[in-house]
Structures are given as structure tokens and as C-alpha cells.
Structure 1
């Protein structure tokens, strides 16, 4: 046992040394039009990443027009003034690159991975759709159908597909996190072309964007290219909507039963937690790893291996720009009652509150956090997204070099304290997912 613990300690020391030696160097500055630019040189491979993060997510939407941020994730590939309709992705792929995008509650993120000799192409294409994306009736009607079909296939027709939608709708009463980024098809159907154009003019502007370029590049030459393609795009004077509403402190447990097209019941517990980047957010994130990070995690050992009450478990920190959720999820084994499963989940939460974590388990947890953090920065894509997010959502790009220290500063006492402070019944929503056959009974 001592030998095992010693090896864990040595592993932790090695990872810490590796993290400290792998500093991510970057250059950042603002153009006069408000565009924030981050440059990171890495000549390991002859590739570059060109990414644009727009500080707009589903929380910026009108409650009667949800789904706009995600809709634009698709619409921005329709084309632009100088790129023919439907040719955007083909042009990147023909140059040997790859392209994609994703949307969250807080931001929309577009990225291209290109051979380094195609850097100018990537910058020109991003600048062209920032300046003159094709927002017209044909593109809107095409993407209406695409988005509705995506929602149908990925969520509506999937077992537990509505889980996040129902969880956030139950946990939030007033904050715009009460709807998820996929939004509502009915609102997308009702929206006019003018509304889509206004959304573009409001949020897709230089002073609401972060351009991050990383890889095999020359810093000074890249600055010239950025000025060439983005410098003349005017700064917007339209106010950018940032929700100021605060979710009231929850004082009573919220509950909901959902009958779904599933075979096995499930339990969801969603606790309110502070915003990302706050001191307690790091301890909370570590708690989720303690509970479900790997086969030997607490929830997995107790509910899946020992008691065999669940076929799968998960503990997920939905840490966001505004206060988010700590979600525990368990899918019941055949014949297990959801109330029994919920009680077992509560037992593990109570253990974290009452029983101090052992030195060995705590060191193992720190090692997991370090490994996950370092692995997240191993790829060019991982670094560019981190750099952009740290600037736009945290206001501190250099967190890419210092955030691990914030995790490692968390103590065993911090874990117990935040568990007692936030993981309370009056601060949570609980959902029971049941088969539709149970509803009939």
C-alpha cells in the first residue's frame, strides 16, 4: 500500500513539473474596431488553426426566439459576398483543411484547421463572412429545415434526448439558461428574415469577437494579414445584449417526472453552483471527478459495481459564465426503483459532506485533474479554444497557464465545504425519467 501511494505522489509531482514547464506563449491585442486577436506559435506540425469566437450563446436570445445562436452556427456556412452559396466548407476542404463549429449557452465558436501555407485563405474567409455573410431568404429557409431535422434526429427521437432540456427548464425560473442552445423549432419557424438579419448585425461584429490563430505561423507576418483582412471592418455601435437577470436563490427542491421512450428509468439531480472561474467552481469541478471520474470513482463503485443499482452514472459540472449546474445522473438497472436509486445517490453525496477524503484518494484526484488539464492542451484545437474562451468568458487569457494552479490550491476541506454549501436538497431540481409504459399503468 505504501509503495502504491508513493507511486501516486511521484506521478503527481511529475505532472506538476510538466505543466509548469509547458508554458503556452501567446500574443494578444485589439484592432481599432474592437476585434480581439490572440496569436500562438507552434511549429510542431505545418498546420494552423484559425478560429473565431463570438460572445453570443443561447442566453443572449429573446425568450420568444430561442435557438437563434445555434441557428447561426449553421447559417454562417451558407456563404458570403465573395463565397458562393454552399461552397464555404468545400473551399476549406479543397485546400486540405477541416472546418466545424459549435454553440453553447455563452458563445458560438467556429474553427478551421489548415495547412500553414493556407493561412491567408482561412483569414480571408473568416473576415468575409464577418463583414458580409449571406443572410437571405433562401439560406434561412434551407437552414430552418436542417436545424429542425437535427433536433429531431439528435434529441427528439433519442432515448433521454430531452434530458438537458427538461433539467434546465426545471432548475431555472427566470434566467435564460432555462432554455438550451438547440432552442425551439416553433420560434425558428416564426422568425422573419429581418429578425435574423438584426441578430447578425448585433452579435456578429468585430467588437464581439475573438480571433485566435495558432500553429506554424510567423507572428509579425500574421499581424499584417489580420490587419489586411479585418482592419477595415467597421466597429458596431449597436448595444450588445448581455442578460443581467439573476436566478433567485432556490429555497425548495424542484421535482419533475418525465415519461420517455426508454426501457430503463433514470434519476437526474441538478444543484445550482457559482459561475466558472470563481474560487468555489474549482472545488466543485473536482467533486464531480471524485464522484464519477473513472471506473474507481465513488458513484461508479457504489451504484454500478457494489450495489448494481445503476448501469451507468455521471457527475457533470455545467460551469458557465453565469451560475450553472452540478448534475448527477444515474440510469437504473433492470427492476430497480428510481426512488431507491435516488436514495443511494444521496448516500454518496452525504459521504462527501461528512467523511473527509483520504490522503491517497485526494492525491489520486489531483493527478486526474492534472492529467485531464494537460491532455486538454495537447492539441492545437484544444489550445485555441482555451485561449479564446479564457479571454472572452473569463477576461483573462493567461488562465491557460495559471488555471491548473487554482485546481491544485483546492484542499480536502474545500471539497467538504462546497459539498455542504451547494449540494443541498433545497438547492436542487430532481427529475425521474420513466418509461412511457409506466405512464400507462
Structure 2
């Protein structure tokens, strides 16, 4: 599947210093040392394409983009794999509600998502696959679970075949990412796609790996499993393995995926006799009108509507940068006004040019320290204000050590390479 056209990247000599990231599993910020020297492999959980990209999605993919740029700045090659969950209950339910074919709905919203990512200057993933086009591999993965004795059948009254579930007790691997108690898990499991009360399951958190065909639902043939479609978590495990190999370095996504999705994805990998991610990073939730931004609540702010109504996509990036990627925050008009003001000020300063190595190195240091964009904006504010104070002259910033002699001299190039900000207008 074609993703989107990546922005051109300003050349940036590698800093050689490691990126430090917060790992949800350990609760600590630690240097990132790839499993394969010189190559960082990242999996980003993708969109379920039954609606357009909202600011909550944008925050997640913006954070993953910053991570990629930071890894590049530390001298690593980066490979990113990302899925499109085009076979899932919410999409099928929306297609039925709207009276459209699920494939047409998925295709239209996936195309709109790509337009939004391109507008926001998100670097495209090397591997970009939908569930539907990965079905052969997913069937092989679920069949391997069955062959290893990790999957079992549950009687299904409304289908000819039987559903298949992962037996978590066989490996005892649940909770390795979240560290949650059973009570914490149970509080959200049902609302996040689980079925704790399903009769016939061996364990309440055992996840569906293959759903027997139901009337009106898409289904695929499998000699081992019967005709049906896959569960959510195993889809990502398969696409990650095909795109990156298992184990890989970093799993990225929103904090609402910590449990059950990332806990259970890791458990699937263990059941296959494999490792999953070395580090798990999660972005915070974006609120609007006092609630987490979500499709079910109907309080979404869509990227394409903001751009259609005249907002510069770089304003959106600056709103996102104003908050640390792990923080929960609320979208507001005040946020937009500040971002618009910053963009105008930064572009005026960039037009003045000049050589500012101290600012460039401060930007790199902020990004390396767990993607600290609020500190980076403070540095950009100080840079722009200093230029305004001297009425547009072109000072050379020599007040502090300049860092590497081959550091890029202009802040606009660094803002582009490190943060995806187009300050040239």
C-alpha cells in the first residue's frame, strides 16, 4: 500500500549523542541503543479508517515523527512500520450504519489520512500495510499459535465455525507492558474491545485471534482455522514481524493502547516464542470540550477541516509541540492563537538568517531528552526575540560554545530537520 509523499529533509550532520526516551514498561527515561547497531526499527500503531484524522491521532503520529527525526539526528538509519486496521468491528459497524461497503469506507478515510500526514510533514513509514492486504501472513501467524498449543476454540452459536482465542495462562505474559493489576485491567477491558464475559473462554483476558464468519461480515478462508477474520492484536504482531522482524526496538502509540493492545500484542509474541518491542512509548490524550477527544463522544477536531478552513499546518504542529508528547492536554482557541503568533514570529526571524549554533545545539539537546518540545519552543522563542531586539540585524551567536563545527548554521534548517517545521513559509 502506498502511504504518502515524505517531506524533503534538510541535511543534518549526526550529533552522535543518544536519544533518551521514556519506556512505559520500566517507567524510566533511558538511552536508546538499537538491537541492530546503526539501525533503529520502530512500529507505530496505525489508524482504524472509519473517520478522518483528528487531533488525538495527529498528536500520536507527530510524536512518532519526532522520534524518527531524533533517531536520525543521533546517526541511526530508521525503519518504521505502520498498519492500517481496515478489518475491525468499529469500521464494519460504521459502514453498516452508513450503508456503504466497508472497503470503500476504509479506502476513502485512508486516503484522507495520507493527505493529513503529508500536510503535517510527517515522514512516511517504510512499511505501510493494511490488515486486508496482510491476511495471508496473519492466517499463518494464528495457525502457528494453534500449532504451538497456544490457541483454543470457543463454541459460537451464531456462526457455523468456532472462534479461536489465545490462552494467556500458557505463558503468563499478561501485564508486561502496563504493569497493571487485574482490577485495573478489568475496569477498561470491555470498553477497549475485550469480551471478559464471553462464555467458554479459559481466562477473562484471553484475546480473540480468529473470529468465525458471521453473516454480513468479511471473511477469509483458512484450512486450519476455518473461514473468518482475525482479532485486533494479532494483526499488529504479524505486520510488525513482516515489516521489521521480531523483536524490534520501539513500539509507539497513544496511551489508550497500553492496555489491552500493547500488553496483548507482547503476549502474542511470547506465545509465538518471540520477543516484541524493547521500548514502549506512549503519547498523551487530547481533550476537547472537557472530554478525551474520541469518535464515540463526537467532540473531534479534524485536521483536514482546520487546513481546509485556512489554518497553516505548521500552526497545528506548533500547537502539538507546546505540550510534551506524554502529557494529556486540551485543544483550545488560545492554543491556536499562541501557535499562530509563534509561527509568524519564527518565520520573520528565519528570514533574517544568520549563524546561531548555540540555538541549534539547544534544539538538538531538547529533542534528544525524551522529545522535549516545550523546551525547544522556549529556545525558538528566545532566538526570535533576540533577533527582533536588534531590529533585524544578523548577529552571530557566539555567547556559548558552538558545538560541532559542522553543525548547521541556520535555525530554520534545524527546525525543519528536527521538528518538521517549515519556517521558510
TM-score scaled by structure 2? 0.26
Bigger fraction of residues in helix: 1
